[in-house]
Structure 1
Amino acid sequence: MSAQTPQCQLLARQDADYRGWLWVAPPRDGWLESGEGNVWSADLGVCEAWRNAGRQAYDALAAPPPQVPGAVLFWPKSHALGEWWLSALNTALPVGTPIQVVGENQGGIKRVPKILADFQQACRKLDTARRCTLFATRTDKAVRGTEAAWQTFTAGGFTLATHPGVFGHGKLDAGTQLLMNALTQSPLPAPGRRSLRALDVGCGDGVLSAWLAKQGCQVTAVDLSTFAVEATRRTLDANQLTGTVVQSDVYRQIAGTFEAIVSNPPFHQERSIDYGPTQRLIREAPTHLVEGGSLTLVANVFLPYPDWLQETFGGFEILADDRRFRVYRAIKARH
């Protein structure tokens, strides 16, 4: 199978023997998934694809095998997240293990030599093509621990845990703030229950989950990212609130029904627009709602969500609009 992504196309032309190597934070690419070695990723979709291909996958907060011939790190758009991965590799693998770092030029890969110098690691350029660059280094003694990347900040009356790569890292997103304001002014409908079962899809740092729990909801929070799942757990703990947090691709790992679904859904995958998760969030929502249950979400005004809401629910209302974001609510009809 031919490589599909630019980074993998660059790797495919190398004469290196990658058998048994560890692929770290890679994109979805059939060339990788049909090859050899193991993957270490925070993305549940990536891990599931590798497991479905009969390959070993490790999530982001679990250490990979200590002995591998080498590792390839796919540099993320967040440099702070890339630095976390470097710290994790230096911590998990023996000193001197070969590491290659690959990424798109527009994604900041050219800053990697300076970052490696800060880690006291030598670096050399191996190749450049497909508007990507490949560097080589070796693991060294960890100069910083992985826990140092976790931070807390205060917003919306909550102490929030945050980690590089988690949505809204270190600040309260303006769309989320508009959504919480709208929920305050237009409370969630309560079809027959005093304590609503609420599902927060794409929970990020957990601010919506904390807000819902503080209102007395029985909260379940889901996110595709291991980092987001851990951030939400830490946020709930920091505010002495309770909830169930699950790593899930939208509804895939969720059972049961809810009185309310709330979301600030993502529409970017790295630098590409991806409407797929939000389309599933909307179109599959009625299956996961009780009769009279509601879906409330916030989105940029230019996104095509009204059409999907109309087609799925037969109608919706706009709770708030600040010309940049809109908050929509749709109700599952009673029969």
Structure 2
Amino acid sequence: MALSNLTELLLRNQSAFNGPVLLIGPPEDLPLGAWPEATALSTDIGQCQRGIAGGENWLFGYDDPAAGKEYGAVVLVMPKAREELSLRLAYGESLLKAGGEIWLAGEKRGGIAGGAGVLQQRWPKAVKLDSARHCQLWCVRPDRQGPFAVADWLSLRQLNVAGQTLSLARMPGVFNDGLIDRGTELLLSTFKEQPKGPVLDFACGNGVMGAWLLQQWPDLELDLLDAQWQALRCTQESLAEALAVPAEGDAKARLIASDGLEKVDGPYDLIIANPPFHQGVRQDLSVTHHFLLQASSRLKRGGELRIVANRHLPYAEPMEKSLGPVTQLADDGRYRVYQSFKPRRPVRRK
């Protein structure tokens, strides 16, 4: 299979990167195993686990204690969310050894032109060293090592959500950036009494649904799962605000970094979700369909799956295939809330 243009750009310039090298957000097809002094960092737990399974050195998120402090080159790939670039630049700078270099690579369609502007605004001496097939590679040698703290990139936004006032954490790169969408509110509005636990919040985002549930019912047993490091870090802060406890304290909830349900044992009395249906800008229902088909194996007998989705998305059929009859609990014209229960007794397949 042909390598992506961005991977070819990085491999072509591999000898220019002084080791040891840290690659932040590298392309999926980059053969890290052929890069002896390289460590990679991703904010996607799935990408990390695939790399580790292949014998590669990977870090998860911007607070992984295994990160070194003496990298000769930090190579950043332009993130999907441009506001995350400034975070990556600050983090990368903090890990450089004296005389180390920051490199920025990206595609035209990925916003590298704007990213180069951000790089030059921070370090006017940054220069473009390669450009081919709609990709660019920039380099700069910072004068000094800057400080970095995750807390500096976290902030809180107070919002009214389904009748409750919540302080929700935000951070560059998190979907909705501390906002609330109508679908999530519609799903939460269907809870009139405390659900039976344990409960799993799948693809928890910034923790809005978990914070809402725990603010009402602090003794609820709750697990919150997401594949993204920023989402889990924001969830930690959002739950701490909901329960008025330190973020590192007993939040009466468990955070799970997982790409799907493979790392989840259960069983749960209830699984809730406002599942993603985009991969970047492209609609992709495969993750949610896989989740819906797996959900039954993570529920107790009589356990419930309750999700919200845009009304045009075809989720009722895979839910029924996985669990059984589907009930529509709410419909506001744009979103629908679906509910299905795992049979209390095994169902004979004809």
TM-score (norm 1): 0.89
How far the C-alpha of 1:32 sits from its partner, in A, is: 3.7
Inter-partner Cα distance in structure 2 for 1:334 and 1:141: 60
Q: Which residue of 1 aligns with 2:247?
A: none
Q: Which residue of 1 aligns with 2:119?
A: 116
**Among 301, 312, 315, the residue aligned to 2:311:** 301
Q: Which residue of 2 aligns with 1:268?
A: 278
Q: What secondary structure is seen at the aligned counterpart in 2 of 1:266?
A: coil
> Does the 8 A contact of 1:2 with 1:31 survive in 2?
no
Inter-partner Cα distance in structure 2 for 1:299 and 1:175: 7
Aligned CA distance change for structure 1 residues 121 and 276 (closer, same or farther; 3 Å): farther
Inter-partner Cα distance in structure 2 for 1:319 and 1:97: 57
> Does the 8 A contact of 1:261 with 1:295 survive in 2?
yes
Inter-partner Cα distance in structure 2 for 1:57 and 1:151: 27
Q: Which residue of 2 aligns with 1:8?
A: 7
1:54 matches 2:55? yes
How far the C-alpha of 1:33 sits from its partner, in A, is: 5.4
How far the C-alpha of 1:145 sits from its partner, in A, is: 5.0
Q: Which residue of 2 aligns with 1:152?
A: 156
Inter-partner Cα distance in structure 2 for 1:26 and 1:328: 37
Per-residue displacement from partner, 1:185-233 (whole Å, max 9, x unpaired)? xx67x6xxxx421100111111111122234321110111121111111
Higher deviation after alignment, 198-207 or 129-138:
129-138
Alpha carbon RMSD of aligned pairs, Å? Answer: 2.3
> Does the 8 A contact of 1:23 with 1:72 survive in 2?
yes
Higher deviation after alignment, 298-307 or 251-260:
298-307
Inter-partner Cα distance in structure 1 for 2:32 and 2:90: 23
> Structure 1: 5+ residue runs without aligned partners?
none
1:164 matches 2:172? yes
TM-score (norm 2): 0.85
Pairing 1:142-291 to 2, within 5 Å after superposition? 142=146, 146-155=150-159, 156=161, 157-184=165-192, 195-216=196-217, 217-240=220-243, 242-291=252-301
Per-residue displacement from partner, 1:46-91 (whole Å, max 9, x unpaired)? 1111111111111212252222331211111211111111111111
Inter-partner Cα distance in structure 1 for 2:125 and 2:315: 48
> Does the 8 A contact of 2:71 with 2:97 survive in 1?
no
**Identity rate of aligned residues, in percent?**
29
> Does the 8 A contact of 2:302 with 2:344 survive in 1?
yes
> Structure 2: 5+ residue runs without aligned partners?
244-250, 346-350
> Does the 8 A contact of 1:212 with 1:219 survive in 2?
no
Inter-partner Cα distance in structure 2 for 1:219 and 1:306: 25
Count of matched residue pairs: 327
Inter-partner Cα distance in structure 1 for 2:148 and 2:20: 27
> Does the 8 A contact of 2:95 with 2:145 survive in 1?
no
How far the C-alpha of 1:109 sits from its partner, in A, is: 1.3
How far the C-alpha of 1:286 sits from its partner, in A, is: 0.7
